[in-house]
Amino acid sequence: MTQLKNIETFSSLEKSDLIFLENLLEPKIFKKGDVLIKQGEIANNFIFLTSGIVSSVYKNKSKEFIRDFYFEPLIFTEMESFVKQVPAKFSVICVTDVTCQLLSHSDLEIAYSKIPTLRNVAYDLLVNGFINISNRLESLLTQNPEQRYLKLLNENPKLLHKIPLKMIASYMGVTDVALSRIRNRISQRKTRLIQ
């Protein structure tokens, strides 16, 4: 059995339901830079991330903007595209090598018919996603870049080692130069505290 049984949102499902659902999942391995969902195309899969890091990216002409990062274990997709079967507003791209399991739109419909309580699980996932986006928006509106960077470090220390600083700067809504200055100020403060 995969990690579904260890994800709190799925804990309400019976063991037989988890086994049925897991049999619908398609294991996949992707390399750094691979595109899991392409902006402008329909997102046909829920992605159950088991290892690695991915980012959601808006592309506007030649500019890219990091919307979010996803770490294992996490379940996600471009929700509007998946639910409404319309073109995705952003891409999902592998930041590192990734292993995951995919659940197609059609297989999810099969699972809904076999496991009626799965709709409650999907609702919980949707609410959690909304809360995460709401918290991100709040931090962008109420915190300065240094506060956002410190919060990011506290919540996701693995960012420093696995994600390029240019991507972190984009996620924070600052330039590479501004992020470098923030990091230098924090480093100088730490040095003064140690002395």
Quick one: how many helices (H) and strands (E) in the chain? 8, 8
pLDDT in tens, 63-107: 889 998 888 888 889 999 999 999 999 999 999 999 999 999 999
* Angstrom distance (rounded) from CA 160 to CA 135: 21
Across the range 40-67, mean pLDDT stands at 92
CA angle in degrees (0–180, nearest 5) for 60-73-29: 70
Residue 87: DSSP 8-state: B
* Angstrom distance (rounded) from CA 72 to CA 58: 21
Q: Distances in Å between the alpha carbon of 108 and those of 51, 113, 162, 164?
A: 22, 9, 32, 34
Residue 93: DSSP 8-state: E
* Angstrom distance (rounded) from CA 63 to CA 34: 18
Two tokens at 103? 């659940």
Burial class (CB in 10 A: 0-12, 13-18, 19+), 24: middle
pTM of the model: 0.84
* Angstrom distance (rounded) from CA 41 to CA 55: 17
Across the range 47-63, mean pLDDT stands at 91
pLDDT in tens, 133-176: 898 889 888 999 899 888 888 887 766 678 888 998 998 889 98
CB 17 within 8 A of CB 117: yes
